[in-house]
């Protein structure tokens, strides 16, 4: 039987948000690939570990090297279908050997925390990506936007950009940081007020126009 690359969504961070199906795959794993924090949480002495730290080509090479002997379980934060390693793995391995186990994304948790439905929201990530030309950021009255931020494209930067795109200064904004952890915090302000907010560099930013 051909071995598989199993991509497991491990949720936003806290163990309570890890789905039972995902935990089962992790417990069965003989080879785990994941970030430093994920491996510290789920790694075991009897499991081969491949650390993901920006070295994508080395990670893919490590997966290829391990596949002849075993399935490889790849741990990704949130849900694999939303800005994870899934596209890179699909480009590198046949689709028939790829298995995806869903997880709870930080975006889902953010919308749950603020009690806002998200079926019509525009969802995107500017984490390590340019904002120029991103069609999701344009303004439509009543639009709801969910963003993954980073230290460069932080909420203050994004607020200025969205105002330039025609978003009203009174648009509601929620900054959701460290979701599911004890250090979780949520700040609700207007878009104009967010321009002067420091911190919240890697968070979920929800904007309601």
Looking at the structure, tell me whether residues 203 and 150 fall in a common domain: yes
Question: Is residue 118 very low, low, confident or very high in pLDDT (cuts 50, 70, 90)?
Answer: very high
Mean model confidence pLDDT for the chain: 94
pLDDT in the model for residue 127: 85
Q: Give CA–CA dist 45/14, Å, rounded.
A: 22
Looking at the structure, tell me whether residues 97 and 170 fall in a common domain: no
Looking at the structure, tell me whether residues 181 and 113 fall in a common domain: yes
Looking at the structure, tell me whether residues 53 and 135 fall in a common domain: no
pLDDT in the model for residue 199: 85
Q: Give CA–CA dist 51/74, Å, rounded.
A: 10
- Of 62, 78, 101, at which residue does a domain stop? 101
pLDDT tops 90 at residue 157:
yes
pLDDT in the model for residue 201: 87
Average of per-residue pLDDT across 188-197: 94
pLDDT tops 90 at residue 129:
no
Domain of 81 in residue numbering reads as 5-101
Looking at the structure, tell me whether residues 144 and 85 fall in a common domain: no
Q: Which of 51, 95, 93 is nearest to 74 (CA)?
A: 51
Q: Give CA–CA dist 102/108, Å, rounded.
A: 12
Give the domain CATH number at 58: 3.40.1010.10
Q: Give the pLDDT confidence of 48-60 residue by residue, as tens digits.
A: 999 998 889 999 9
Looking at the structure, tell me whether residues 92 and 150 fall in a common domain: no
Min mean pLDDT across 66-70, 119-123, 130-134 is at 130-134
- How many independent structural domains does the chain possess? 2
The phi, psi pair for 76, rounded to 5°, reads -125, 145
pLDDT in the model for residue 139: 95
Q: Which residues of 182-200 are buried (b: 16+ CB within 10 A; e: fewer)?
A: eeeebbebebeebbeeeeb
Could you tell me the CA-to-CA distances from 106 to 9, 122, 123 in Å, in that order? Answer: 11, 15, 12
Looking at the structure, tell me whether residues 122 and 94 fall in a common domain: no
- Of 101, 133, 161, at which residue does a domain stop? 101
pLDDT in the model for residue 1: 59
Model pTM?
Answer: 0.90
Question: Is residue 207 very low, low, confident or very high in pLDDT (cuts 50, 70, 90)?
Answer: very high
pLDDT in the model for residue 134: 86
pLDDT above 90 coverage of the chain, percent: 87
Question: Is residue 82 very low, low, confident or very high in pLDDT (cuts 50, 70, 90)?
Answer: very high
pLDDT tops 80 at residue 132:
no
Looking at the structure, tell me whether residues 135 and 196 fall in a common domain: yes
pLDDT tops 70 at residue 94:
yes
Query: Which three-class secondary structure state does DSSP give residue 182?
Result: coil
Q: Give the pLDDT confidence of 8-42 residue by residue, as tens digits.
A: 999 999 999 999 999 999 999 999 999 999 999 99
pLDDT tops 90 at residue 133:
no
Looking at the structure, tell me whether residues 157 and 143 fall in a common domain: yes
Q: Give CA–CA dist 10/105, Å, rounded.
A: 9
Q: Give the pLDDT confidence of 58-81 residue by residue, as tens digits.
A: 999 999 999 999 999 999 999 999
Looking at the structure, tell me whether residues 91 and 25 fall in a common domain: yes
Give the domain CATH number at 129: 3.30.950.10
């Amino acid at each position: 039987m051909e071995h598989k690359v199993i991509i497991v969504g491990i949720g936003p961070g806290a163990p309570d948000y890890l789905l039972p199906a995902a935990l089962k795959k992790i417990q069965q794993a003989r080879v785990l690939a994941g970030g430093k924090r994920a491996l510290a949480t789920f790694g075991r002495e009897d499991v081969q570990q491949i650390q993901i730290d920006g070295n994508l080509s080395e990670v893919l090479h490590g997966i290829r090297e391990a596949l002849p002997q075993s399935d490889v379980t790849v741990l990704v934060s949130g849900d694999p279908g939303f800005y994870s390693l899934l596209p890179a793995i699909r480009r590198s391995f046949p689709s028939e050997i790829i298995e995806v186990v869903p997880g709870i994304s930080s975006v889902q948790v953010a919308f749950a925390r603020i009690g806002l439905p998200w079926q019509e929201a525009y969802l995107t990530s500017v984490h390590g990506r340019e904002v120029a030309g991103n069609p999701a950021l344009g303004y439509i009255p009543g639009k709801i936007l969910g963003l993954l931020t980073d230290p460069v494209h932080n909420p203050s930067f994004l607020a200025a950009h969205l105002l330039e795109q025609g978003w009203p200064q009174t648009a509601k904004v929620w900054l959701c940081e460290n979701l599911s952890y004890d250090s979780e915090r949520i700040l609700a302000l207007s878009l104009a007020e967010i321009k002067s907010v420091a911190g919240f560099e890697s968070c979920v930013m929800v904007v309601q126009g």
